[in-house]
Structures are given as structure tokens and as C-alpha cells.
Amino acid sequence: MTSEYPAVTSRPLAGYRVLDLTTFLSGPFCTQILADLGADVVKIEAPDGDSSRSIPPHFVGDDSAYFLSTNRNKKSVAMDLKHPEGVSLVKRLILESDVVVENFRPGVAHRIGLDIDELRRTKPQLIWASISGFGQTGSDRDKPAYDMIVQALSGVMSLTGEPGRPAVRLGIPAGDMVAGMYAAISINAALADRERSGAGRVIDISMLDCQLAMLSYQSAYTLIAGVTPQPQGARHDSIPTYRSFIGSDGREIVITANTERMWRGLCEGLGLAELCRDARFADGAARLQNRDALWLVLEAAFSTRPAADWVEPMTQNGVPVALIKTVTEALDDARISGREMIVSLSDTDGHRIDLVGNPIKFSGGESVEPEYPPKFGANAQHVLSEWLDLDQEVIDDLMTQNVVLSQRKCTA
């Protein structure tokens, strides 16, 4: 079948230059989103490389699986920013960029010689995005932060886990990744605004702020009703038929019967039509008030058959249902989903890896193949000659002085 949309030949951010001064996860995740959308992203690395390149236990060649997960479609230039010439080169690259993304602690950029105000006076169109734990202002601005720190401080961890048990960190690094997503959203908004105004923006993203924003209705329950939400496990504070159940084989199944029609379908699928006539469960408010009694009935019913055997009767009765899958099972399903969410990448050394791909889909399809994450410092010649118009002799001299590096320095 021929698509009604014309095939695209480039990604939406093609032609925009992004200088990536970030390390670890929040910043690299942000710039990978921009790179997936077509921006020309140049990653500036310290002499010992992005610290995430060395995170155990899994490696492909010299690079960790952790690093490979968030750095595709980028170029790498390694520079010593303790050397004045290194700072000078980065300034020049900044002035050739549309966007700069950094996740230094507040004040560090200025301390190493990158004055945001001065750079934006020279280039008012520049968009500068800072990602930090607690933002560029406020009493906690100088404190260090990592994913689990902001999960703890935001209240997110207090909601995760089973009631009466210790708090649990989310299994994904949401503190980092949500900040990276908000940064990418902000950058795209700033680029759109610049098309109208001609002026850039300074963007201040706090990991903690982003986690607070993700509290969603739980924050509203606290601010409006004055209650403190408790750990939910695999349940919902408002909808008692929105939770997991355990089949006779010990596997878990998730049911999200959140409308009256779905409630009736749940009863029919379980062979418990009489529940629909039980006054204790007459509507959503009654079911919530009598949730403990309802759960005893539902748990007993689901325990009579293997979890997978409940998928068909729930589906036939219009009840959203899913087995709780392992990461391996979920990725295996993604390979055959038709959504192109598992991509295979190869480098010049013969390494081949599979990664989760770009979830953003546009009409016309994807015509540009994703690129393997960059080797440390591999793109210095290309970037310095194309962005700064430096000739080979100058680049060679910079490498001789170790201002620009092609091999990581061992810090051990």
C-alpha cells in the first residue's frame, strides 16, 4: 500500500547545530532526542571522556552499554577545558551553534570561562539550556543531585512500593530522563519562538522541578484535599479496579477497568455478573469505599487460572488488560510490533548493537538511518574544519598540545 504522505528526506531539526557540554544521563538523553530529530549534535568531552563511557558491567569495545544507550547520532570532540586554548575553541564553537546544552553545577560554566551573558551579547540568537539538580536559582542551587536524590526529595519514591514497606526507587532513571525530556521540549519551543522574534532564550531546567511536575494528580490530592498520598504498589488511589492481580501460575496481570462499561465487562469476563448487582459496588465511589471487600473477590477469581488465560476473556469484554512482562519480553515484542522501536547500529570497527529507537514518528516515514554513538574524540577533524574552518596544520598543532585529544586519558 502506498502512503498518502510523501517520503521525507530529512528530519525536522536538520540544519540546526547543537553543542553538547553534558555528561552522564540527563543532558545526553536531551541531546539524543535532538539528534534523533535531525540536529547536528557535537558532544564536547573532557580528556578522560564522558564518565558514563566507563560504567560497568556491560561493554562493547571500549564503551559501556550505558553510554551507548543515550549518545547515538552525535559527533564527539575531546578538549581540555583547563587549557585556555580549549576554552577559546569551545567559545568559537558556541558562536557557531544554535543551541548549547550543559549540565554543569550552577556557576561552573562561568568559572571555566564560559560567560553565558557575554556569549549571548555576541550572539543574541543563541539558545542556552542548563540542566541541574535544583536549578540556577534558589537555596539548594549548589547542592549535587542524582536521579535517586530527586526521586527521594520530590516524593516520588514515597509513592513507589508496597504499603507498609520501605520506599522503592523507580526502575527507570526518571529523575534524569524526565529532566532531559523537559529540556528538549523547551529547546524546541525556544527554536520556534526564535523564528518569530529572532532572539534566543536561556533555559533553566531543574531535575527536582521536573519530578514535582510529574506528581500529576497526586500533587493535586495533597494541595487541594490536604492528604498525603501513600505507596500504591500496583494499585490506584482512586480506581480499585485499576491494579494488578496474580494468576494461578504466579504471573501478574494488569486490569484497568476505569469506566462503568469496563466494570461490567470485568464482571462478565470473570463469570461474576452478580457483582454488578451488589449494592456495595454500585458505582465508582461505592467500589472505592468497599475496595477491600471487592479485592478479596477479584483476587480469588483471578487466582483460579494462569494469568495469560485471562487476557482473551478480558479483551472480549472490552477490559484493557496486559501481562506484566520482563524487559526481555517487552523488547522481543517490540521487534515484531512494526513500530521500528529496535534499531541495529554498526560502527567502523565491526561492532554491532541493538538499541531502543526514537519513539517520535512523523508522517512520511523515517528515511535517515540512525548512527552508532561516536567514538571518543573521533570527529574533531570534521567539526573543527567544518564549523571553524581550521586547516589541518592548526588542528594537528592543537592535538600535539593535547588541547584536542583523540584518545582518552586514563585517570586511574
Q: 54: domain CATH number?
A: 3.40.50.10540
394 and 290, same domain (yes or no): no
Q: CA-to-CA distance for 73 and 408, rounded, in angstroms? A: 20
For residues 206 and 251, membership in a common domain is answered with no
User: Are residue 128 and residue 203 in the same domain, yes or no?
Assistant: yes
146 and 33 housed in the same domain: yes
Cell match 511536575: residue? Answer: 213
Q: Mean pLDDT throughout 369-394?
A: 97
pLDDT of residue 4: 63
Same domain, 256 and 118: no
Answer whether residue 343 is part of any domain.
no
CB 77 within 8 A of CB 42: yes
| Catalytic residue status for 249 | no
Q: What is the mean pLDDT of residues 242-265?
A: 98
Classify residue 353: in a domain, yes or no. Answer: no
Q: What is the pLDDT of residue 10?
A: 75
Regarding whether 51 and 121 lie in a shared domain, the answer is yes
Residue 412 has pLDDT above 60, yes or no: no
pLDDT band at 116 (very low <50, low <70, confident <90, very high): very high
**Same domain, residue pair 312 and 396:** no
195 and 269, same domain (yes or no): no
pLDDT category at 215 given cuts 50, 70, 90 is very high
pLDDT score of 313: 98
Question: Is 136 in the same domain as 95?
Answer: yes
Annotated catalytic residue, options 80, 176, 204, 209: 176
The set of cell numbers assigned to 80 is 581540555
User: Which pLDDT belongs to residue 2?
Assistant: 45
Residue 340 lies in a domain: no
Which of 210, 202, 200 lies closest to 136 in space, CA to CA? 202
In a domain, 411, yes or no: no
Q: Does 225 map to a domain?
A: no
2 part of a folded domain: no
The pLDDT confidence band at residue 11, using thresholds 50, 70 and 90, is: confident
Do 32 and 148 fall within a single domain? Answer: yes
- 34 and 168 belong to one structural domain: yes
pLDDT tier at 286, thresholds 50, 70, 90? very high
Tell me: do 207 and 254 sit in the same domain.
Answer: no
Q: Is residue 166 part of a domain?
A: yes
| pLDDT score, position 8 | 61
Pick from 268, 302, 324: which residue ends a domain?
324
Q: What is the CA radius of gyration of the chain?
A: 26
Answer whether 43's CB lies under 8 Å from 20's CB.
Answer: yes
Q: Which of 306, 324, 342 is the last residue of a domain?
A: 324
Domain holding 135, by residue range, is: 17-215+366-405
How many domains are there within the chain?
2
Give the CATH number for residue 291: 3.30.1540.10
Burial of 351 (0-12, 13-18, 19+ CB in 10 A): middle
Q: Out of 297, 324, 351, pick the residue that ends a domain.
A: 324
Per-residue pLDDT at 285 exceeds 80: yes
Give domain status of residue 235, yes or no: no
